[in-house]
A and B are shown apart, each in its own frame.
Chain A
Amino acid sequence: MGENKNKTSTSNLGIFLFVVSFISAAAVGAFSWIAMPITQKMFHISPEITHAVLIGIAVFIFSIIQPYILKLVSRKIELFHENIRKKQEIGSNVIQENLRQELTDIKEEYSKKDQELNRIRRTCTVVSDELVSVSRFMEIMRGHLQTANDNTEEGVMGIITALENIRDSSSGLLEKLKTDKDMALSFSHKNKEHLEQNAELIGRVKEFMTQRTKQILEDTKKVETVVDEVRKLTSFTHFIQDVADQTNLLAFNASVEAAHAGNAGRGFRVIAKRIRDLSNQISTHIKEIEKQFTYITEHIETNISTIVETSRTAEERRQMEEIAGSLIEMGENFEQMDTFLMNITSDSQKTMGQIYGEILSTLGLIQFQDVTRQQIEQVTESLKEFEAYCTGIKESLAASDPGMINSLQEIINKTRETYVTTQQHLTHDAISEDQNTSVKAPPIELF
């Protein structure tokens, strides 16, 4: 404050000297300006001389009044010094008072700052302690994210493996079907050839059968004619039988008449008996002949037609055997085809079963997304808590108030309570070196 006063006094003295000098110069100028026209009119001299004279007069006047001016200035300076001295005395007291006040203020400020520093120190200590938990918290979060990442990787790898299996199964089946298709084409070509051959043979057989039918009809007619002829012979046997019967009857009558004749008829009786015996023999032979005719007729009807037929079916048989051979081969082809189709069906069924199982497995594996989602959501929630915690630290540091800092360990403990999966518990316990408190239960349980 005293310093300011001194500065003000020095400034006032400067102004004073400046004013005195200005007035002196102004007085000389004014005198010259007023006196010059008058002097020129009065003495009719040149302006240069007038100037010189006027300046000389001005200097003369100034030298007369100079001691007074100097005295006045000296007095002013003395007053100025006196004033300064007084002011210095007053200023010194004020300064001392001010200094004392300032010292008190500084002490109070220092005390406050010291207290603040202590609070900051305590806050920093708390923050420092908390930073240890931050590291653990971050490690736990990293562990959860790593687990989620591992689960994702495992799930995706599972799906890829299942898709690879499906691809392999499909490729295998496709390859097999391609090979089987070639085989089926081969069978088809063979059967086509057989069918063409058979069609040709059947055509030939059909033609042969037409001729054959015609021939059989002719043969049948011929046989029937022979049989009729033979049957006609049978009627002769009937006639002979009839003659034999009548002869027998005559012989009987002759015997009766011979008996009536007595001895005279003895010879006749012998002849009659002989005739009757002959008739009986004829009858017996006729019956035998009839039997033979019947046998021959039947034999002609059966055996001969068979012989004729047999002799004329040799070509037919050969052709039929050819067709049969072809059909057998076709049958074998079809049998192979059947086996082949069964194999294809079986392989397809097996492969489709594998693919079905893989798809079921893959659809189950997709569920990893839900597990991972919950793990990440849990980390997100924890990070929100951590953000609030960091805001608390920031505010606490700004206010130097350690009481405003929440305990991160409490947040970690709270986070632990929100876990839903066993894996989350395991990850947490592994990092925080806590004892595993989660109870292991079977993944599938029916009550």
Chain B
Amino acid sequence: MGKRIFIVDDSAVMIMSLKQILDMEGFEVVSAKDGMEALEKIKEGLKPDLIITDVNMPRMGGLDFIKNVRPILKFVPILVLTTESDIEKRTEAKNMGATGWLVKPVGGEDLLKVINQVLPGV
């Protein structure tokens, strides 16, 4: 089994799209529909090699999720994949420990290129 990638997004279409792209490259994909569910899974012992999270989600948004998950997973790269264009939120994500910021829609090849850059051993 390949590296495990954890997708956090409230859009079922986004999860499906990313899962298909990552499946094609042999990654194992786990998903959650908001920050709260994602955090629960991490606390239950999920060990992803990479996290891809949206920003605007119900219950717990992406930035709060990063803030909560970073102390638990100190070295796991976290990519923010969002429609959000607010530069302040981008800076906030960076300060909270995000590894990169990608604005939707992102082509499959571009996404894989970024994953190859941030995920060691791929």
Contacts of A365 in B (CB 8 A): 105, 107
**CB pair B83 A360 closer than 8 Å:** no
Residue of A nearest to B95 (CB): A447
Give the one of B21, B87, B112 with max A CB within 10 A. B21
Complex Cα distance, B9 from A76, in Å, reads 103
Contacts of A369 in B (CB 8 A): 11, 13
Task: List the one stretch of A33-41, A78-86, A190-198, A418-426 in contact with chain B.
Answer: A418-426
Task: List the one stretch of A90-98, A139-147, A331-339, A437-445 in contact with chain B.
Answer: A437-445
How distant is A279 from chain B, measured CB to nearest CB, in Å?
98
Instruction: Say whether B3 faces chain A, with CB atoms less than 8 Å apart.
Output: no
Q: A-contacting residues of B (Cβ < 8 Å)?
A: 9, 11, 13-14, 16-18, 20-21, 24, 55-56, 82-87, 90, 94, 98-112, 114, 117-118
Complex Cα distance, B101 from A405, in Å, reads 42
Residue of B nearest to A358 (CB): B108
**CB pair B13 A367 closer than 8 Å:** yes
Which of B14, B55, B101, B118 contacts A367, CB < 8 Å?
B14
**CB pair A444 B85 closer than 8 Å:** no
**CB pair A370 B102 closer than 8 Å:** no
24 interchain pairs (CB within 8 A)?
A356-B24, A359-B108, A360-B21, A360-B24, A363-B21, A364-B106, A366-B13, A367-B13, A367-B14, A370-B83, A370-B104, A371-B105, A374-B83, A419-B85, A421-B83, A422-B85, A441-B85, A441-B87, A444-B102, A444-B106, A444-B110, A446-B117, A447-B99, A447-B101
Report the number of A-B residue pairs with Cβ-Cβ less than 8 Å.
104
The 4 closest A-B pairs by CB, nearest first: A360-B108, A367-B105, A364-B107, A422-B85
**CB pair B84 A420 closer than 8 Å:** yes
**CB pair A370 B13 closer than 8 Å:** yes
Complex Cα distance, B58 from A217, in Å, reads 98
**CB pair A420 B100 closer than 8 Å:** no
Contacts of B20 in A (CB 8 A): 359, 363
How distant is B66 from chain A, measured CB to nearest CB, in Å?
12
**CB pair B109 A443 closer than 8 Å:** no
Contacts of A373 in B (CB 8 A): 11, 13
**CB pair A371 B108 closer than 8 Å:** no
Q: What 1/0 flags go to A166-185 for Cβ under 8 Å of B?
A: 00000000000000000000
Contacts of B109 in A (CB 8 A): 357, 360-361, 364
**CB pair B107 A445 closer than 8 Å:** no
Q: Which of A124-173 contact B (CB under 8 A)?
A: 155
How distant is B105 from chain A, measured CB to nearest CB, in Å?
4
How distant is B88 from chain A, measured CB to nearest CB, in Å?
9
**CB pair A438 B100 closer than 8 Å:** no
**CB pair A446 B100 closer than 8 Å:** yes
Which of A155, A357, A443 contacts B103, CB < 8 Å?
A443
Say whether, besides A364-B17, A366-B13, A420-B56, A443 and B83 are in contact (CB < 8 Å).
no
A sample of 9 more A-B contacts (CB under 8 A), given A361-B109, A446-B100, is A360-B109, A362-B108, A365-B105, A366-B13, A366-B17, A370-B104, A439-B87, A444-B110, A446-B114
Complex Cα distance, B91 from A248, in Å, reads 125
**CB pair B85 A364 closer than 8 Å:** no
Q: B-contacting residues of A (Cβ < 8 Å)?
A: 155, 356-357, 359-371, 373-374, 419-422, 425, 438-439, 441, 443-447
Residue of B nearest to A370 (CB): B11
Complex Cα distance, B100 from A447, in Å, reads 5
How distant is A361 from chain B, measured CB to nearest CB, in Å?
6
**CB pair B11 A361 closer than 8 Å:** no
Contacts of B101 in A (CB 8 A): 441, 444-445, 447
Residue of B nearest to A362 (CB): B108
Contacts of A446 in B (CB 8 A): 99-100, 114, 117-118
Complex Cα distance, B18 from A422, in Å, reads 22
**CB pair B21 A438 closer than 8 Å:** no
Complex Cα distance, B82 from A360, in Å, reads 19
Which of B13, B85, B90, B110 contacts A425, CB < 8 Å?
B85
Contacts of B94 in A (CB 8 A): 447
Residue of A nearest to B79 (CB): A446
Contacts of A359 in B (CB 8 A): 20, 24, 108
Complex Cα distance, B11 from A217, in Å, reads 89
Contacts of A438 in B (CB 8 A): 85
Complex Cα distance, B13 from A367, in Å, reads 7
Contacts of B14 in A (CB 8 A): 367, 370
Complex Cα distance, B105 from A360, in Å, reads 12
Contacts of B84 in A (CB 8 A): 420-421
Contacts of B11 in A (CB 8 A): 369-370, 373
Complex Cα distance, B112 from A417, in Å, reads 33
Complex Cα distance, B101 from A425, in Å, reads 19
Contacts of A444 in B (CB 8 A): 100-103, 106, 110, 114
Complex Cα distance, B99 from A425, in Å, reads 26
Say whether, besides A438-B85, A445-B90, A367 and B104 are in contact (CB < 8 Å).
yes
Give the one of A362, A422, A438, A447 with max B CB within 10 A. A447
Contacts of A420 in B (CB 8 A): 55-56, 82-86
